[in-house]
Amino acid sequence: MPGTNDTINTLQKSLIPELGAIADKVVSGGSLSPAEGLLLFEKAEPGLLGVLADVVRTRNNGNNAWFIRNFHVEPTNICVNHCRFCSFSHHFSASKWELSVDEILAKVGQQDETVREIHITGAVHPQRDIVYYGELLRKIKSLRPGLHVKAYSAVELDYMIRKAGLSFTTGLQYLKDCGLDSVPGGGAEIFDETIRKQICGMKTSSADWLEIHRTAHKLGLPSNATMLYGHVETYAHRIDHLERLRQLQKLTNGFNAFIPLKFHRSNNEMKDIPEVSVVEDMKMVAVSRIYLDNFPHIKAYWPALGRKMAQVSLSFGVDDMDGTINDSTRIYSLAGAEEQNPVMTVSGMKKLIEEAGRLPVERDSYYRPVV
């Protein structure tokens, strides 16, 4: 890449010598060690991080910035778990609610035929089982056979599969046979068990989260991965999380994208923790892109970041802007995110990407361009 080495050399002149070796390794396509990743978090300036992340982004995706026409369904806010950071569940709401199957199917039926993906995830309802969720998949596929169904986080899957007395393999195969196409990345939070116990002690363990995704990949179900950052974790915890994901990807190559999710503090038990700065957001995005060198895509989930900061993130390694969403999610709006009614038109998405100097490419759920 012409000029990249000169830019990096200029940026790192006033920084510690070790950053030069890290920059050379990134430019040459090498993988960073956990210690090197930690050093980027602790010592690298945003300018250097942006340049290095852009090297990896360009290597993987050229100048493309992907997006999809999609929508969300959040079936219920009634949850067996009591996560301290959550603003969505009935524990922090004035009311409990749950959509019926007919109400969910009505939402599916309301979508334009050009919408290609449904994302189903929400609370872990104590009285709904794997048969219920499997039949929901069957009915969605019957109504919209061509709609890609990305459904049920590892936390939801863990609960319904254990409740049925099944192995992860048997449970996931059943859901795949019912119409499950891929698995979303939610519920990962932070893998370190000490932090996990502190913020979401009732939730699926990190080991089981990883095992569910490993099993899904083995069965031909691709998935995404996330991290909830900006609360009580340290940089070391973030690198540990990224390293576990990178190691699993080496084994399965089943992850499509990594999505850093910013902690928002409204309406939850962690409201006394200040939210991190925009600079910290871009640092998180950039280090993720640099460190997860075997992940094809880094996604900016714009309902969490806000559309303007998601646009900025395209200069810090992001190549995927998620989708149009169609005002169909409340998980982040309830936590105080800027986007209270998240909806983006296709033309609006394209304009946002083009203003950042990237080429907008509409995709399907497997990152194939839609012509």
**CA 231/CA 262 separation, integer angstroms:** 9
Residues 6+ apart with CB under 8 A from 183: 150, 151, 152, 153, 154, 157, 212, 213, 216, 221, 222, 223, 224
The SS3 assignment for 176 reads helix
Q: Map out the domains of the chain as residue ranges.
A: 60-362
Among the listed ranges 103-107, 122-126, 162-166, 211-215, which one has the minimum average pLDDT value? Answer: 122-126
Burial, 146: exposed, middle or buried (Cβ in 10 Å; 0-12, 13-18, 19+)? exposed
Q: Report the CATH number of the 60-362 domain.
A: 3.20.20.70
pLDDT digits (tens, 9 = 90+) for 228-247: 999 999 999 999 999 999 99
pLDDT at 91: 55
**How distant, in Å, are the alpha carbons of 95, 124, 211, 213, 253 from that of 218?**
39, 24, 10, 9, 10
pLDDT band at 329 (very low <50, low <70, confident <90, very high): very low
pLDDT band at 6 (very low <50, low <70, confident <90, very high): low
**How distant, in Å, are the alpha carbons of 116, 126, 246 from that of 105?**
15, 22, 37
pLDDT at 14: 52
pLDDT band at 202 (very low <50, low <70, confident <90, very high): confident
135: amino acid identity, one letter: E
Among the listed ranges 7-21, 100-114, 270-284, which one has the minimum average pLDDT value? Answer: 7-21
The SS3 assignment for 368 reads coil
pLDDT for 2 beyond 70: no
Rounded (10°) CA dihedral 290, 294, 300, 304: -90
pLDDT at 331: 46
**CA 358/CA 268 separation, integer angstroms:** 37
pLDDT at 85: 64
255: amino acid identity, one letter: F
pLDDT digits (tens, 9 = 90+) for 10-66: 655 556 778 988 999 999 999 999 999 999 999 999 999 999 999 999 999 999 999
**How distant, in Å, are the alpha carbons of 21, 102, 134, 213, 295 from that of 248?**
26, 38, 27, 9, 11
- pTM more than 0.85: yes
Neighbours of 272 (CB within 10 A): 6
Q: Which residue has the tokens 């939610």?
A: 186
pLDDT band at 342 (very low <50, low <70, confident <90, very high): low
The SS3 assignment for 261 reads strand
pLDDT at 334: 45
pLDDT for 337 beyond 50: no
pLDDT at 167: 98
pLDDT for 93 beyond 70: no
DSSP 90: G
Asked whether 208 and 200 are in contact (CB, 8 A), the reply is no
Q: What percent of the chain has pLDDT over 90?
A: 71
